[in-house]
Structure 1
């Protein structure tokens, strides 16, 4: 933009307006049309840059143009922050979020570290110390939401949870780690067994059993839930089978839906139907083996329930 001193020699030494001084022979500044044209062009340029057309009935267009450009300029200049680009980000007090577009406040950091929900951070114990120093605290996790362990499931609310995040190929375990490779893991292995293992245990895994446990936690009980079916207990190995037998003669052979691996130890019969004459004798089983048994009956006992137990 031109100053008045760029257009006329009657401006003061700073190129600005002067009223002149007749006594000292200083002329007042002449106002040529060229200077007014410069001012007008500058003002019109402000409107043009703001996308406004001159309106002779509106004397506030320059103000509106400046406000419009400021508003649009801020919107364009303000970009969201990201992991790779600086920008404006929203603050958050969340302590359990995976949002990467907001920034943590000091409060959320304090809550996460000092345990607004039941965590006390303690002090590092000195080498050889049996307990933390006087006046310090051990790190503790507190909860009033976990039921008796016999009833606790994965949906319970413990003080501390170690999770494999749904990855069936990962363990859910705590790590005890000293320098180098010295480490021991304690938790649920990929076969859902409670175990301890790691480098400090010679690279081996050891299962942890309760006093009455004799089975394998990696196996699940199975069954065929049909009218003629079976149930296999994976903990004890006991198998129960059941069905209905229809008389085909004095001796009817019944074949189990699945063979007992070792032995059939018991067969029970309950009369279900008899003919019009009514039941006249007992029903019983004999010659039981891993594959089946004989149903022994008179002519009146035409149908019975049966159940067999083995292993």
Structure 2
């Protein structure tokens, strides 16, 4: 749909028709083919959308289309958003399936005194009592022969346990712990038992398969990477992924400082810096002019288009940069 003002400049400010004022230079609104075609398409689409066929000479087809669409909208099958529950229709004087089932179950439970399912018939009750017609007498006689309840270890004749109120010597405590330990085997992947925490030396050696490894010792292990990072050095530095690296400082073309999230224990670490993504003959990456520290590492990268001399190498930003650091622990 469009207003007449969408297809001609002779409409008024509201994009509506105007009769114009020839004496003052205001033209009357020109009816354009574009606007007439838009109106025709709107009316044709209304008729076709109602399922009718365009019939020349029938001037009531728009009315018929509106009536057909109204009739279609009132068809129950065409209504959307219909509720699927009694409550959805606002009906309050009927029982739902859930309420009906609950009412029936409540009546049954009241009949059997809320007995469990295994005891809700006379036959089940009789079987549970051993079909003994004198069950009360049988139980009374059995209870009469029961020993009196004791409240101490001595009362039960137990002499191989530790009384709660007693005081124990270090030797007794050691013996108790040893006895418990003897009953438990070393824990493995398939056998539960005692778990022993590995020392840092055992973690570094990597030869003990029985001791438990803690997260702190894992991070401090000499065989693991202390920090690593992958980044795009062209334009604004963009870190792709990293570990123990908080940020990268761009010091200039081909010159970066890797800042550690957690400082290393010492600056005597080993590092590897590699670059890629440029098709020059020689690309070189190395440590920067500053010495490594426990909180940062400076690196540089250069590139040369041919073998040439040293003068061919220029500081270069590479799209693919990676640094791995070992040691410093």
TM-score, normalised via structure 1 length: 0.31
User: Which structure dedicates a bigger proportion of its chain to strand?
Assistant: 1
Q: Which has the higher contact order (CA 8 A, sep 6+)?
A: 2
Higher helix share: 2
TM-score, with length taken from structure 2: 0.30
